[in-house]
């Protein structure tokens, strides 16, 4: 509560008193303050300002959004807004990184805003600091990209106001410390991104995507609201501190787990709640797609971790891990299978996000299973893997979406069947995209490999689990993970190969131009980060250690920075270790030696000769291997089962002039089994009740009267 | 509370319920209007008595407003409208006195059954008043449901509003500003309804709601 009187006192007294009144007004709390006068005294003063600063800086973003409404038609406003967003995100990133590395104690702040009896609580701990880093790293890079990319935007006034708003919303979600602030920021984020999805609303597909997104977002928020309601209990302790302290019955906590899985999962894209994601993410402008896929799904993961690992707390039941594991495994495999069937570059990337969310949830499920059996060391490994993958996926998925944005501006095409040969026209974009593809396919020495390797290490420790069901389930999920990793590699061979290699399949692709320098800078920063996180994984794991310790009852992985040669030794040197640096050195040496040998002993010059054309000179580019042909073997193997794929070859008889046709028919099992019946039921019900629209006045009055009488009767009889 | 004061308040509030019953079976327009004027007069008396026994002087204003507008101005205005529309001789078929009386009795019983347990903590006067007010409200709704004629609908609506005023007066009165604004909104409603009645009449040659319903049916097809 605001105290009205201290104003006079502060004028009369010295500075120390002012500090105290500020404290009393905002109830700043530090659980264990280090002694004053120590070398960190200046750090105390700084950390007191840290949380207000982290909360206030997004207000600058909001101001940018307001400015955009006023000035979005002016050509320079795009640069100003993206520049400001870049600066703010970099600052937030630096602050959060500083906090995480200093391993400070949590900071709390209560503001007298929002609901009068609750206020707004905010808290900065290691978990929120880590996700702040993910959010603002993505925000900064996409702002940098948009400095160049935004120039091509057809309708900047539809994008500019919402881009900074969306960023501000995501920042507030991870800092919120009560249900009201959390849901408010969550909806802020959802609506901001919805407006961005609808930026090009003239296309009917985008309008449909926006509608579906809105429905699913509201469903998710409803599930989260119910989860918070259960956590708060009848006493209504809606701030997270009260929820942490409260004890709830196992039945209720299981319900909270399911609701959190539904609420956060619908935003993150867990199968079968993913249906909106591959429609909505590609519909937005590419830098926003990068933010939604790379960052917003991570905010959803944050929501799940915050509720299940932090608020729900002990005791963890073993089957929770099983549920989350199964959801993650199914999501991973189905996501990548969907992705393989796609020929639209951005939609392929969006489906692939679903797969990666599955991998993250596998890690989280393993952590839950280990925690339930008090195997905290293994839980730390699984959690580190999941959080590492959160960071990794935000890096390479942003990179890939930015690359697809560069391709889209250069050619105007998203359909891979009309691309090709871009490596000649856009060599730098191609290089960055290749790095991203290798990283997401989990190839060493890049970062994707490290997190998936750590997940596998955790899976290999699963025989320590006592429950037989988990003993069987975890290796099965491991097999699913391995399958999805292999399919992901296939998927990105297809994405990169069809888009960048071969010959151009359309005039637009043949005349593509390399993208601008801002966009290239953004992509190369991300590619560099992918490489860095891949060759120095020990440092990342060390950075994650306070987060893991916070979620895991203090247990965390051993320090990695003092391992020889920067090796990653999560479990024990005898059992397993990985050194990205050495792998990279070896690969570089081997490649260099191979190149040297070839050029020394075979031929010193690169030659360009005609391709073998089977005796048909000047073959059309359409005779090349296509995205469809690439997917065919996978479709034959898995498609008939999962997608009920049917191929029909229509061969005209000899003499007929018609072209031969190959028709492929795919069904979306999730949509047809889960969503189509619901939609049909809603339509059937509303058709049946449609006559209520055409009643006479007397009938309406009678309805009101009857309802009133029935309610009063119920009241009279029930009492 | 003196026994007599309570009895008179009880008598007046109960009188409103009785007049509501009277309203239910008036099949001529003029008698319906007269009965409504009686209804408002009883309301004015009831509120005035409340003002006296509660020593709440602003309730006198409420009573005055009820007397002036609801017992005099509105019935007279409606009477004029009826004469101009030329429907003062129409008879409205009412569903059946016996059936309406039974339904009304059931509603009053329901109102008492609901209100008395809910307001167990309040003083006896407020409890009785609230129960009667709910009964008046329900009877007003019943009137609206039963009638076809637009004038009868207006009367039903106004008697329902009288019930609301009774409830407010019993529960220690509502603020004067609210009361005045409600009174004026009712007046404005009267004006709007009057205008609409003429428009409806112009278009359909009738103020019978059934004519409008058949017209709507026709458009729907």
Q: What is the pLDDT of residues B29-64, one digit of tens each?
A: 888 999 999 999 999 999 888 888 888 787 888 888
Q: Name the CA dihedral angle for A631, A632, A633, A639, rounded to a multiple of 10 degrees.
A: 90
The predicted pLDDT at position B154 comes to: 83
The predicted pLDDT at position A589 comes to: 95
Neighbouring residues of B166: CB distance < 8 A, sequence distance ≥ 6? B13, B16, B43, B46, B47, B129, B132, B133, B136
The reply to whether residue B148 touches residue A701, judged by beta carbons under 8 angstroms, is: no
Nearest CA in chain B to A716: B114
Neighbouring residues of A559: CB distance < 8 A, sequence distance ≥ 6? A542, A545
Confidence of residue A638 (pLDDT cuts 50, 70, 90): confident
Residue of A304, A312, A300 lying closest to A354 (CA atoms): A300
- Higher-confidence position of A441 and A628: A441
Mean pLDDT of A513-529: 93
Q: Any idea what DSSP says for residue A178?
A: B
The answer to whether residue A705 neighbours chain B at the CB level (below 8 Å) is: yes
The answer to whether residue B218 neighbours chain A at the CB level (below 8 Å) is: no
Judged against a pLDDT cut of 70, whether residue B175 lies above it is answered with no
The reply to whether residue B114 touches residue A712, judged by beta carbons under 8 angstroms, is: yes
Cα separation, A347 vs A336, in Å, equals 12
Confirm if A317 and A250 have CB atoms less than 8 A apart.
yes
What Å distances lie between residue A503 and A409, A422, A507, CA to CA?
19, 8, 11
The reply to whether residue B212 touches residue A694, judged by beta carbons under 8 angstroms, is: no
The predicted pLDDT at position A43 comes to: 54
**Which of A691, A698, A704, A706 would you mutate first to test chain B, the one with the most B CBs within 10 A?**
A698
The predicted pLDDT at position A45 comes to: 62
Residue of A295, A515, A291 lying closest to A408 (CA atoms): A515
pLDDT tens digits, residue range A75-103? 788 888 999 999 999 999 999 999 998 88
The reply to whether residue B118 touches residue A715, judged by beta carbons under 8 angstroms, is: yes
Smallest Cβ distance to A696: which of B107, B111, B213? B213
Judged against a pLDDT cut of 70, whether residue A692 lies above it is answered with yes
Most confidently predicted of A8-22, A51-65, B123-137:
A51-65
Mean pLDDT of A121-129: 93
The answer to whether residue B23 neighbours chain A at the CB level (below 8 Å) is: no
Would you call the peptide bond into B64 cis, given omega within 30 degrees of 0 as the criterion? no
The predicted pLDDT at position A474 comes to: 93
Structure tokens at A14: 């010295």
Chain B closest-CA separation from residue A235 CA (Å): 25
Instruction: Find how far residue A188's CA is from the centre of its chain.
Output: 17
Residue of B43, B49, B22, B16 lying closest to B132 (CA atoms): B16
Cβ atoms within 10 A of the Cβ of B160, count? 19
Confirm if A240 and A121 have CB atoms less than 8 A apart.
yes
The answer to whether residue A711 neighbours chain B at the CB level (below 8 Å) is: no
Which residue is listed with tokens 């603020």?
B175
The answer to whether residue A696 neighbours chain B at the CB level (below 8 Å) is: yes
The answer to whether residue A718 neighbours chain B at the CB level (below 8 Å) is: no
Mean pLDDT of A291-320: 91
| Beta strands at A568-572 and A107-111: parallel, antiparallel or unpaired | unpaired
Residue of A399, A293, A406 lying closest to A350 (CA atoms): A293
Alpha-carbon Rg for chain A in angstroms: 28
| Residue boundaries of the structural domains of chain A | 48-276, 314-595, 626-665, 669-718
Residue of A582, A574, A592, A569 lying closest to A534 (CA atoms): A582
Chain B closest-CA separation from residue A699 CA (Å): 8
pLDDT tens digits, residue range A364-394? 999 999 999 988 989 999 999 999 999 999 9
Residue of A177, A394, A206, A191 lying closest to A299 (CA atoms): A394
Give the percent of chain B with pLDDT over 70: 85
Mean pLDDT of A579-602: 90
Most confidently predicted of A244-248, A356-360, B148-152:
A356-360
Q: Which residues of B touch A696 (CB under 8 A)?
A: 209, 212-213, 216
Give the angle A304-A310-A316 at the CA atoms, nearest 5°. 90
Give the percent of chain A with pLDDT over 70: 93
Confidence of residue B105 (pLDDT cuts 50, 70, 90): very high
Q: For B173, left (φ over 0), alpha (ψ -120 to 50), or beta?
A: left
Q: Which residues of A touch B209 (CB under 8 A)?
A: 696-698
Judged against a pLDDT cut of 60, whether residue A271 lies above it is answered with yes
Judged against a pLDDT cut of 90, whether residue A639 lies above it is answered with no
Q: Which residues of B touch A697 (CB under 8 A)?
A: 153, 209, 212-213
- Higher-confidence position of A268 and A601: A268
Alpha carbons within 13 A on the beta-carbon side of B168: 21
Measured N-to-C along each axis, helices A517-535 and A447-460 cross at an angle, to the nearest 10 degrees, of 30
Helix, strand, coil share (%) of chain B residues, nearest 5: 85, 0, 15
The predicted pLDDT at position A22 comes to: 38
Alpha-carbon Rg for chain B in angstroms: 18
**Which of A691, A694, A707, A712 would you mutate first to test chain B, the one with the most B CBs within 10 A?**
A712
Mean pLDDT of A133-153: 91
Smallest Cβ distance to B117: which of A696, A713, A719? A719
Confirm if A58 and A30 have CB atoms less than 8 A apart.
no
Confirm if A107 and A124 have CB atoms less than 8 A apart.
yes
Q: Any idea what DSSP says for residue A660?
A: P
Give the angle B200-B205-B206 at the CA atoms, nearest 5°. 70
Judged against a pLDDT cut of 50, whether residue A8 lies above it is answered with no
Least confident range of A44-48, A471-475, A509-513, A517-521: A44-48
Which residue is listed with tokens 């099983």?
A322
Burial profile A192-207: b = 16 or more Cβ within 10 angstroms, e = fewer: bbbbbbbbbeeeeebe
Smallest Cβ distance to B209: which of A694, A698, A705? A698
Confidence of residue B5 (pLDDT cuts 50, 70, 90): confident
Nearest CA in chain A to B107: A709
Nearest CA in chain A to B210: A696
Confidence of residue A334 (pLDDT cuts 50, 70, 90): very high
Confidence of residue A357 (pLDDT cuts 50, 70, 90): very high
The predicted pLDDT at position A137 comes to: 95
Q: Which residues of A touch B216 (CB under 8 A)?
A: 694, 696
Q: Any idea what DSSP says for residue A564?
A: G
Judged against a pLDDT cut of 80, whether residue A489 lies above it is answered with yes
The predicted pLDDT at position B10 comes to: 87
Smallest Cβ distance to B145: which of A702, A712, A713? A702
Judged against a pLDDT cut of 80, whether residue B211 lies above it is answered with no
The answer to whether residue A710 neighbours chain B at the CB level (below 8 Å) is: no
The predicted pLDDT at position A1 comes to: 37
The answer to whether residue B213 neighbours chain A at the CB level (below 8 Å) is: yes
Smallest Cβ distance to B110: which of A694, A697, A716? A716
Chain B closest-CA separation from residue A703 CA (Å): 9
Confirm if B130 and B163 have CB atoms less than 8 A apart.
no
Judged against a pLDDT cut of 80, whether residue A40 lies above it is answered with no
Confidence of residue A33 (pLDDT cuts 50, 70, 90): very low
User: Is A578 in a helix, a strand, or coil?
Assistant: strand
User: Is A646 in a helix, a strand, or coil?
Assistant: strand
Chain B closest-CA separation from residue A686 CA (Å): 18
- Higher-confidence position of A160 and A608: A160
Residue of A363, A199, A383, A370 lying closest to A287 (CA atoms): A199
- Higher-confidence position of B159 and B171: B159
The answer to whether residue B111 neighbours chain A at the CB level (below 8 Å) is: yes
Judged against a pLDDT cut of 50, whether residue A610 lies above it is answered with yes
Nearest CA in chain B to A703: B145
Cα separation, A276 vs A297, in Å, equals 12
- Higher-confidence position of B207 and A213: A213
User: Is A36 in a helix, a strand, or coil?
Assistant: coil
The reply to whether residue A701 touches residue B145, judged by beta carbons under 8 angstroms, is: yes
The reply to whether residue B213 touches residue A704, judged by beta carbons under 8 angstroms, is: no
What Å distances lie between residue A151 and A87, A147, A194, A289, CA to CA?
19, 7, 22, 17
Most confidently predicted of A104-113, A163-172, B2-11:
A163-172
Judged against a pLDDT cut of 80, whether residue B180 lies above it is answered with no
Residue of A505, A515, A507 lying closest to A410 (CA atoms): A515
Q: What is the pTM of this model?
A: 0.80
Cα separation, B59 vs B51, in Å, equals 5
Neighbouring residues of B86: CB distance < 8 A, sequence distance ≥ 6? none
Confidence of residue B119 (pLDDT cuts 50, 70, 90): confident
Smallest Cβ distance to B145: which of A705, A712, A713? A705
What Å distances lie between residue A589 and A7, A371, A530, A585, CA to CA?
70, 43, 20, 6
Cα separation, A381 vs A537, in Å, equals 13
Cα separation, A59 vs A171, in Å, equals 10
Q: Which residues of B touch A698 (CB under 8 A)?
A: 145, 148, 209, 213
The predicted pLDDT at position B219 comes to: 58
What is the average pLDDT value for chain A, to the nearest integer? 87
Structure tokens at B82: 């009826």
Mean pLDDT of A474-503: 93
Q: Count of A–B CB contacts within 8 Å?
A: 40
The predicted pLDDT at position A132 comes to: 95
User: Is A688 in a helix, a strand, or coil?
Assistant: helix
The answer to whether residue A708 neighbours chain B at the CB level (below 8 Å) is: yes
Smallest Cβ distance to B113: which of A694, A704, A716? A716
Q: Which residues of A touch B135 (CB under 8 A)?
A: none
Cα separation, A391 vs A362, in Å, equals 15
- What count of residues does chain B have? 221
The reply to whether residue A697 touches residue B212, judged by beta carbons under 8 angstroms, is: yes
The answer to whether residue B118 neighbours chain A at the CB level (below 8 Å) is: yes
Judged against a pLDDT cut of 80, whether residue B96 lies above it is answered with no
The predicted pLDDT at position A42 comes to: 53
What is the average pLDDT value for chain B, to the nearest integer? 81
Cβ atoms within 10 A of the Cβ of A442, count? 24
Write A197-201 long-range contacts (CB < 8 A, 24+). A197/A280, A197/A283, A197/A284, A197/A288, A197/A292, A198/A158, A198/A283, A199/A155, A199/A158, A199/A159, A199/A162, A199/A284, A199/A285, A199/A288, A200/A154, A200/A155, A200/A158, A200/A283, A200/A285
Cα separation, B88 vs B7, in Å, equals 39
Give the percent of chain A with pLDDT over 90: 52
Cα separation, A19 vs A42, in Å, equals 14
The answer to whether residue A690 neighbours chain B at the CB level (below 8 Å) is: no
Write B192-197 long-range contacts (CB < 8 A, 24+). B193/B150, B193/B154, B194/B77, B194/B78, B194/B81, B197/B81, B197/B85, B197/B150, B197/B151
Confirm if A625 and A638 have CB atoms less than 8 A apart.
no
């Amino acid at each position: 509560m605001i105290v009205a009187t201290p104003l006079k006192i502060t004028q009369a007294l010295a500075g120390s008193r002012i500090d105290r009144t500020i404290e009393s007004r905002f109830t700043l709390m530090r659980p264990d303050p280090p002694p004053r006068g120590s070398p960190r005294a200046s750090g105390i003063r700084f950390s007191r300002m840290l949380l207000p600063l982290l909360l206030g800086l997004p207000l600058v973003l909001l101001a940018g959004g307001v400015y955009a409404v006023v000035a979005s038609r002016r050509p320079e406003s795009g640069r100003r807004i993206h520049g400001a967003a870049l600066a703010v995100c970099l600052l937030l990133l630096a602050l959060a990184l500083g906090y995480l590395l200093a391993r400070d104690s949590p900071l709390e702040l209560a503001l007298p805003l929002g609901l009068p009896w609750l206020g707004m609580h905010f808290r900065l701990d290691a978990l929120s600091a880590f996700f702040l880093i993910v959010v603002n790293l993505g925000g900064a890079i996409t702002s940098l990209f948009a400095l160049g990319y935004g120039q091509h935007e057809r309708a900047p006034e539809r994008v500019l106001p919402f881009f900074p708003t969306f960023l501000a919303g995501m920042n507030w979600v991870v800092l919120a410390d009560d249900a009201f602030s959390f849901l408010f920021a969550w909806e802020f984020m959802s609506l901001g991104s919805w407006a961005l999805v609808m930026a090009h609303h003239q296309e009917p597909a985008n309008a449909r995507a926006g509608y579906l997104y809105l429905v699913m977002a509201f469903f998710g928020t409803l599930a989260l609201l119910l989860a918070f309601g259960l956590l708060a209990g009848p006493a209504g302790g809606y701030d997270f501190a009260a929820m942490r302290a409260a004890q709830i019955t196992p039945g209720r906590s299981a319900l909270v787990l399911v609701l959190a899985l539904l609420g956060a999962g619908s935003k993150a894209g867990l199968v079968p709640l993913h249906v909106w994601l591959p429609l909505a993410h590609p519909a937005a402008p590419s830098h926003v797609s990068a933010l939604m896929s790379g960052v917003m799904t991570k905010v959803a993961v944050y929501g799940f971790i915050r509720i299940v690992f932090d608020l729900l707390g002990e005791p963890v039941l073993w089957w929770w891990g099983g549920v989350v594991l199964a959801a993650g495994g199914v999501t991973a495999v189905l996501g990548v299978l969907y992705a393989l069937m796609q020929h639209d570059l951005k939609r392929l990337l969006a489906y692939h996000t679903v797969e990666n969310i599955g991998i993250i949830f596998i890690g989280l499920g393993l952590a839950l299973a280990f925690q339930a059996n008090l195997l905290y060391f293994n839980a730390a490994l699984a959690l580190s893997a999941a959080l590492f993958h959160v960071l990794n996926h935000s890096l390479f998925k942003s990179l890939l979406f930015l690359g697809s944005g560069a391709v889209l501006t250069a050619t105007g095409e998203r359909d891979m069947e009309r691309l090709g040969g871009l490596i000649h026209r856009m060599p730098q974009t191609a290089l960055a995209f290749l790095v991203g593809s290798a990283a997401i396919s989990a190839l060493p020495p890049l970062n994707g490999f490290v997190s998936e390797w750590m997940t596998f290490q955790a899976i290999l420790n699963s025989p320590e689990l006592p429950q037989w069901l988990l003993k069987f389930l975890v290796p099965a999920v491991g097999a699913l993970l391995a399958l999805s990793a292999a399919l992901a590699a296939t998927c990105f061979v297809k994405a990169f190969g069809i888009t960048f290699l071969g010959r151009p399949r359309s005039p637009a692709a043949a005349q593509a131009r390399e993208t601008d320098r801002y966009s290239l800078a953004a992509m190369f920063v991300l590619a560099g980060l992918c490489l860095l996180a891949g060759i120095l994984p020990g440092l990342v794991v060390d950075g994650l250690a306070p987060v893991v310790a916070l979620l895991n009852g203090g247990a965390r992985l051993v320090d990695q920075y003092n391992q020889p040669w920067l090796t990653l030794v999560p479990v024990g040197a005898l059992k397993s270790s990985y050194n990205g640096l050495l792998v990279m050195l070896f690969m570089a040496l081997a490649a260099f030696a191979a190149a040297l040998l070839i050029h020394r002993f075979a031929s010193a010059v690169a030659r360009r000769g005609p391709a073998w054309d089977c005796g048909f000179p000047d073959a059309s580019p359409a005779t090349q291997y296509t995205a469809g042909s690439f997917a065919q073997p996978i479709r034959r193997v898995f498609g008939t089962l999962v997608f009920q794929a049917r191929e029909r070859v229509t061969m005209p008889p000899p003499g007929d002039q018609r072209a031969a046709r190959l028709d492929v028919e795919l069904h979306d099992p999730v949509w047809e089994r889960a969503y189509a019946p619901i939609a049909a039921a809603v339509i059937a019900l509303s058709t049946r009740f449609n006559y209520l629209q055409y009643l006479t006045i007397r009938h309406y009055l009678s309805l009101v009267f009857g309802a009133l009488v029935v309610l009063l009767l119920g009241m009279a009889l029930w009492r | 509370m003196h026994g007599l004061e309570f009895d008179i308040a009880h008598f007046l509030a109960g009188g409103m319920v009785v007049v509501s019953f009277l309203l239910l079976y008036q099949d001529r327009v003029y008698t319906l209007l007269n009965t409504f004027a009686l209804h408002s007069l009883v309301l004015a008396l009831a509120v005035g008595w409340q003002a006296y026994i509660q020593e709440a002087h602003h309730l006198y204003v409420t009573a005055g407003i009820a007397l002036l507008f609801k017992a005099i101005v509105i019935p007279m205005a409606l009477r004029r409208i009826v004469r101009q529309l030329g429907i003062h001789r129409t008879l409205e078929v009412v569903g059946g006195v016996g059936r309406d009386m039974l339904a009304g009795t059931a509603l009053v019983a329901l109102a008492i059954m609901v209100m008395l347990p809910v307001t167990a903590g309040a003083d006896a006067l407020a409890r009785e008043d609230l129960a009667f007010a709910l009964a008046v409200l329900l009877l007003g709704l019943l009137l609206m449901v039963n009638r076809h004629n637009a004038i009868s609908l207006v009367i039903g609506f106004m008697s329902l509003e009288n019930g609301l005023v009774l409830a407010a007066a019993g529960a220690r009165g509502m603020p004067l500003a609210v009361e005045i604004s409600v009174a004026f909104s009712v007046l404005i409603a009267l004006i709007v309804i009057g205008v609409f009645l003429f428009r409806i009449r112009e278009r359909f040659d009738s103020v019978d709601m059934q004519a409008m319903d058949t017209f709507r049916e026709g458009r729907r097809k």
